[in-house]
Amino acid sequence: MHPSDAPVVREISVADGKAGPYGITAGHDGALWLTFVHSGSIARLTLDGDLTVHPLDSPACRPMIIAPGPDGALWFTRSQDHRIGRITTDGATESFPVPTPGSGPFGITAGPDGAMWFTEMNSDRIGRITGEGEVTEFPLPVAGGFPSAITTGPDGALWFTLNQGNAIGRITTEGDILIHPLPTPEAAPVGITGDGTALWFVEIAAGRIGRITVDGDITEFPLPDRTAKPHAIAAVSTGSCWFTEWGANRVGHITSSGEVTEYDLPSPSSEPHGIALGPDGALWVALETGGVARVTP
């Protein structure tokens, strides 16, 4: 659907097409923080449009997902050199190696225990890193599951997608793990978010949005365009989530009843990836072709 009362969408150029804005989050400083996956940089964008780019020590480290930490800094995954990065709001950076070689860290989120939790795509593990850089790894009971995005659930556990395992996983801060298989085969879940009551996730290969309760009950909602390739998802309130459609150049909104509304982005083939709720109440979307979209509901 494309209703006449569609939100206002404004695009801001933040890089050339070679940098690759990918992950985005709101920092504790009231700004947006982005990963530039191709150029190996972290960018800070204020609500007024002021941009600061911080190059990392390795241009080929492939920074992916970024999240605010309990220490006020931003933490991010480096999937190519298998490290976890940290950047302060004034731009000081450091990074810590993941113990398992070739782990391919991807998703990251602040846990309820004062640490950051992350996924290891290549090694079927969930990692935990303290503010001092001490890493603990928890092996999953799945081979080749490709753990992807991760978020803290309303139950105080960490919830994550298994992109190739076709499941949603749950791990407690003590390391107890549950795996919930998806009803749809080969759905390839990626992004996941919590709305304060349940978890919402996207199925990039099946063109669906899923909801899972903390008890493991799963509901799937098909998108009008099943080839849209939904990628990332962010909750704005209970039963209200926004998501990116990487394959269709759109952002979408879904309600608790499964009602989906979709909106085209202004620039064609802009490759929307990460999405985050900004401190201004708007949705901010990273566009891999070099921009950021601000969506005002």
Question: Where are the extended beta strands (E) located within 48-157?
Answer: 51-55, 63-68, 74-78, 83-87, 93-97, 105-110, 116-120, 125-129, 135-139, 147-152
Q: Measuring CA to CA, which residue among 200, 243, 201, 198 is closest to residue 225?
A: 243
Share of the chain above pLDDT 90, in %: 97
**Residue 292 confidence class, pLDDT cut points 50, 70, 90:** very high
To the question of whether residue 288 is assigned a binding role by annotation, the answer is yes
β-pair partners for 170: 159, 178
Residue 292 phi, psi dihedral angles, 5° rounding: -130, 135
Q: Distance between CA atoms of 234 and 251, rounded to whole angstroms?
A: 11
Residue 4 has pLDDT above 90, yes or no: no
For the record, the structure tokens of 27 come out as 């920092």
**Cβ–Cβ < 8 Å for 251, 230:** no
Query: Tokens 């009602």 belong to which residue?
Result: 259
List the Cα angle 156/175/238 in 5-degree steps: 25
pTM, entire model: 0.97
Which residues are known catalytic residues? 273
Under CATH, to which class is 8-296 assigned? mainly beta
Q: Is 262 annotated as a binding residue?
A: no
HSE-up of 103 (CA within 13 Å, CB side)? 25
Q: What is the CA radius of gyration of the chain?
A: 17
How far is the CA of 288 from the CAs of 37, 38, 201, in angstroms? 9, 9, 21
Sign of CA dihedral 234, 240, 246, 250: negative
pLDDT value for 3: 47
pLDDT tens for each residue of 136-181: 999 999 999 999 999 999 999 999 999 999 999 999 999 999 999 9
DSSP string, 157-223: SEEEEETTTTEEEEE-TT--EEEEE-SSTT--EEEEEE-SSSEEEEETTTTEEEEE-TT--EEEEE-
231 carries a ligand binding annotation: yes
The letter for the amino acid at 241 is C
Q: What is the pLDDT of residues 80-115, one digit of tens each?
A: 999 999 999 999 999 999 999 999 999 999 999 999
Q: Where are the domains of the chain?
A: 8-296
Cα 117 to Cα 126, 203, 279, distances in angstroms: 7, 22, 23
**E strand intervals along 79-121:** 83-87, 93-97, 105-110, 116-120
pLDDT in tens, 254-265: 999 999 999 999
pLDDT 10s digits, 174-218: 999 999 999 999 999 999 999 999 999 999 999 999 999 999 999
Average pLDDT over residues 44-48: 97
Structure-token pair, residue 24: 């985005």
Among 119, 124, 149, 129, which Cα is nearest to 139's? 124
